[in-house]
Amino acid sequence: MTDLIVKAEQDDAGDSAEVGLFRVFESYMNANPQTIIIDPIENLKKLLLRHRQYHLIATSDACLHDKVFTPPFVRLIASDSSQMLRELRLAGVDFPVVCKAQEAHGSSDAHRMMIIFNADGLKSIKVPCVAQTFVNHDAVLYKVFVIGEKFHIVRRPSFENFYSFDLPPIAFDSQNITGSQWLEDIPVSRPPIAASSVPDVPAVALDPEIVTSIVKGVRKQFGLSLIGIDLIVDKTTGHYAIIDVNAFPSYDGVTDFFPHLLSHIEMIVWQRDRHLSANHHSVHLKQPTGLKPTARIISNDLNPAIARS
């Protein structure tokens, strides 16, 4: 759905197949207001453009915690590398930087990224894009898969720490960060660096209370319940960096995803029916067994000792 929304939003003429499908969907929803929408379209739109998404993350309750932040970022429009460098400095974005397409959904380009280590590498950037400071994080990316009030954490491989700025740009697909899956079609040099596998023992154990506050803050800011939050832990400070939020992610690695999804839908239906019964002064509806409207971890691959249900 997010890909459809992106393409419909980009069609100024309004005559594409995507716009037609989107209008059919909107017409159906207008004609059937009783239909339950898990995540409203207007809220999904908040995720589509990365610079807007990052601004919302940075101003969310999640980043009120003194150990949570989103790395400095800036939207680059000018193709002149000197102007890019000035904009990076004004925004406090330091090398190395990760350059990402401004659209976070809608095409394969949304996942194509590039790490730039110095001013000379800016010549390889395709604008418009969003540039964000790269944070050393011991080669581990934490995928937080949110299903309503519950979430599941999975560790994924990422880039090893960088300590040199004398490197050529690295182009990669964020969905396939492995040593054999670089974007060879992008005309940049490939350095003798490969993404590592996930360490057997993480350098740090995530604090479940901090992750829970992140989930609550991000959900509140975007008004969404089925999302993926990409987290890394700053090697230097130990602080948690939110680097992306995705609508309805793959949920790859989430045990019993569909039962948890059905449980979430059951809760939404119960809340809708309770609201309707209250308006009509009907009898009180019993809350579904086992469903509690509080954030909780459904599983955690990092440390079994902190997993709870």
5-16 pLDDT tens trace: 655 565 555 566
Asked if 58 and 40 touch (Cβ cutoff 8 Å), the reply is no
The pLDDT of residue 198: 52
Which tokens is 64 given?
A: 């009120």
Q: Which amino acid type is present at position 223?
A: G
- Contact criterion met (CB below 8 Å) for 143 and 230: yes
Residue type at position 308: R
Q: Judging by DSSP bridges, how do beta strands 97-101 and 170-173 pair with one another?
A: unpaired
The HSE-up count of residue 266 (CA atoms within 13 Å, CB side) is: 14
157, β-bridge pairs: 140
Residue in this structure with the two tokens 């459809």, named with its chain if needed: 4
Nearest to 263 by CA among 296, 238, 285: 296
pTM score above 0.95: no
Q: How many residues does the chain have?
A: 309
Write the single-letter amino acid at 33.
Answer: P
Return the axis-axis angle of helices 50-58 and 208-222, rounded to nearest 10°: 120
Helix (H) or strand (E) holding 101: strand 97-101
**pLDDT for res 178:** 45
Integer CA distances (angstroms), 73 to 99, 100, 157, 158, in order: 9, 10, 23, 20
Helix (H, G, I), strand (E, B) or coil at 26: helix
Residue 253: which region, alpha, beta or left (left: phi > 0; alpha: psi -120 to 50)? left
Give residue 288's pLDDT.
59
**Dist. CA 274–CA 278, nearest whole Å:** 6
Gap between the Cα atoms of 101 and 150, Å rounded = 30
Burial of 27 (0-12, 13-18, 19+ CB in 10 A): exposed
- Phi and psi at 133, nearest 5°, equal -60, 130
Instruction: Determine the pLDDT at residue 251.
Output: 93
Give pLDDT < 50 ranges for the chain. Answer: 178-196, 283-284, 291-296, 301-309
Work out the angle at residue 303's Cα, subtended by the Cα atoms of residues 301 and 307, and round it to the nearest 5 degrees: 80
